[in-house]
């Protein structure tokens, strides 16, 4: 055999992009524990623990709260293909990549999609959703993105949930980037279904997508006229494996579930409120540090996410070159822009384990260096000093 591929030696990175985020060593250790089978009594007990922990972070009592065996986009697709049938009317907020993606997935499921558009970086207004609901003949589902990873916009949920219900529709929320980093209150907000990812504020490697379905959503799934188009993501079949019956469906990703369990334990140990406060604090310090070096956040003021900071690239600065410098010279990953924001923003993630004072100071210092290398008149230490002042001001 002529294939020769060497030892495995990944470089050390500080992950401050849009995810994956830094992973706690406890999670890596849990993940590398020896495997048991997917029907082993130990694993079955562990599934219950994962469900309990997920309910805590989703702030819900929904029994049907499980990790889908795929990444966040698989969770998105699972929610949409289970809740929508061909011909169903679907109202979706589109103000970034992930609202756009929901619309695309729903169209492939045969839904009649009514896009409610807002400029990228801004939130979708409840009155826009209301207008779309009034125009629809029988809206089945309304969906919005709580934390738009592509823009940094933080979408308020409760009013939209109320409007959906007033028009007889369910509400679905994309919590991929918010879960574990900002309040997600499934029960209090009366959200019917939601999905998330593991590699953002839960600080677990990517590979699973936690979802939660409330009673109304499960009713809709149970009374479908057609089979769910995806066998792999069919919630009724998944419920038989994750429920009392333990009927084999697919082989659960054992080690990913090990990792998720440990990551969720760490979240619960810190406490959700303390965790949200930490994310806010580091976000504010970052924002404070960006100002004196001429950088500002791209998302709508008053609706900026704490864990995902889209930073406008100043005119005359090469977005990709700065990002490349950060990676090569500092070992720091930040993200670039997507879609209409390509080349126009950097995306700095302060998610989960990545949301810490040392990350903020490191990325600001690295940005100072890179901007000076780009010929910008940036005073050494200016950003770092401003962030330190922000921390002290608390």
Contacts 24+ apart (CB under 8 A), 104-108: 105/76, 105/77, 105/80, 105/81, 106/80
Tokens coding 158: 């409760």
**Is residue 265 at the binding interface for its own copies, with CB under 8 A as the rule?**
yes
**Is residue 329 at the binding interface for its own copies, with CB under 8 A as the rule?**
no
- Give 33 or 166: the residue with its C-beta nearer to its own copies: 33
Using the contact rule CB under 8 A, the part of the chain among 44-52, 112-120, 181-189, 281-289 near its own copies is 44-52
**Is residue 211 at the binding interface for its own copies, with CB under 8 A as the rule?**
no
Which residues inside 51-70 make contact with its own copies, applying CB under 8 A?
52-53, 56, 69-70
Q: Where are the beta strands (DSSP E) in 201-278?
A: 209-213
Which residues inside 67-86 make contact with its own copies, applying CB under 8 A?
69-74, 77
- Give 128 or 255: the residue with its C-beta nearer to its own copies: 255
Q: Taking a C-beta distance cutoff of 8 angstroms, is the pair 97, 149 a contact? A: yes
Which residues inside 99-118 make contact with its own copies, applying CB under 8 A?
101, 104-105, 107-109
The owner of tokens 């109320």 is 162
**Is residue 12 at the binding interface for its own copies, with CB under 8 A as the rule?**
yes
Q: Taking a C-beta distance cutoff of 8 angstroms, is the pair 258, 359 a contact? A: no
- Give 292 or 352: the residue with its C-beta nearer to its own copies: 352
Dist CA 57 CA 303 (whole Å)? 22
**Is residue 228 at the binding interface for its own copies, with CB under 8 A as the rule?**
yes
Which residues inside 144-203 make contact with its own copies, applying CB under 8 A?
197, 199
Burial class (CB in 10 A: 0-12, 13-18, 19+), 223: exposed
What is the size of the binding site for its own copies (CB under 8 A)? 78
Beta bridge partners of 90: 113, 141
Which value, to the nearest 10 degrees, does the dihedral of the CA atoms of residues 147, 151, 153, 155 take? -50
- Give 344 or 372: the residue with its C-beta nearer to its own copies: 344
**Is residue 253 at the binding interface for its own copies, with CB under 8 A as the rule?**
yes
**Is residue 29 at the binding interface for its own copies, with CB under 8 A as the rule?**
yes
């Amino acid at each position: 055999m002529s294939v020769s591929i060497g030892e495995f030696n990944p470089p050390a990175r500080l992950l401050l992009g849009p995810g994956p985020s830094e992973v706690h060593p406890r999670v890596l250790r849990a993940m590398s524990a020896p495997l048991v089978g997917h029907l082993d009594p130990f694993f079955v007990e562990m599934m219950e623990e994962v469900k309990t922990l997920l309910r805590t972070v989703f702030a819900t009592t929904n029994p049907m709260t499980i990790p889908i065996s795929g990444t966040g986009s698989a969770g998105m697709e699972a929610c949409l293909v289970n809740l929508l049938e061909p011909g169903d009317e679907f109202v979706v907020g589109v103000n970034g990549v992930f609202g756009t993606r929901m619309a695309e997935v729903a169209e492939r499921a045969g839904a009649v999609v009514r896009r409610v558009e807002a400029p990228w970086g801004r939130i979708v207004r409840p009155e826009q959703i209301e207008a779309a609901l009034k125009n629809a003949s029988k809206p089945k589902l309304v969906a919005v993105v709580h934390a738009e990873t592509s823009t940094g916009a933080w979408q308020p949920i409760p009013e939209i949930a109320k409007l959906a219900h007033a028009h007889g529709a369910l509400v679905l929320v994309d919590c991929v980037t918010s879960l574990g980093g900002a309040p997600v209150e499934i029960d209090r907000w009366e959200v019917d279904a939601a999905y998330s990812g593991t590699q953002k504020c839960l600080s677990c490697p990517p590979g699973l997508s936690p979802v939660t379905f409330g009673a109304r959503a499960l009713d809709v799934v149970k009374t479908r006229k057609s089979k769910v188009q995806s066998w792999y993501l069919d919630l009724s079949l998944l419920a038989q494996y994750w429920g009392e019956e333990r009927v084999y469906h697919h082989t659960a990703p054992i080690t990913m579930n090990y990792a998720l369990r440990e990551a969720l334990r760490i979240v619960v140990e810190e406490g959700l409120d303390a965790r949200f406060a930490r994310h806010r604090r580091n976000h504010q310090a970052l924002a404070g540090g960006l100002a004196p070096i001429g950088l500002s956040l791209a998302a709508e003021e008053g609706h900026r996410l704490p864990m995902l900071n889209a930073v406008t690239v100043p005119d005359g600065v090469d977005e990709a070159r700065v990002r490349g410098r950060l990676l090569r010279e500092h070992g720091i990953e930040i993200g670039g822009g997507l879609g209409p924001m390509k080349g126009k923003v950097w995306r700095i993630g302060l998610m989960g384990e990545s949301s810490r004072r040392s990350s903020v100071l490191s990325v600001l210092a690295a940005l100072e260096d890179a901007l000076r290398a780009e010929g910008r008149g940036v005073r050494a230490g200016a950003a770092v000093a401003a962030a330190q002042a922000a921390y002290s001001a608390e």
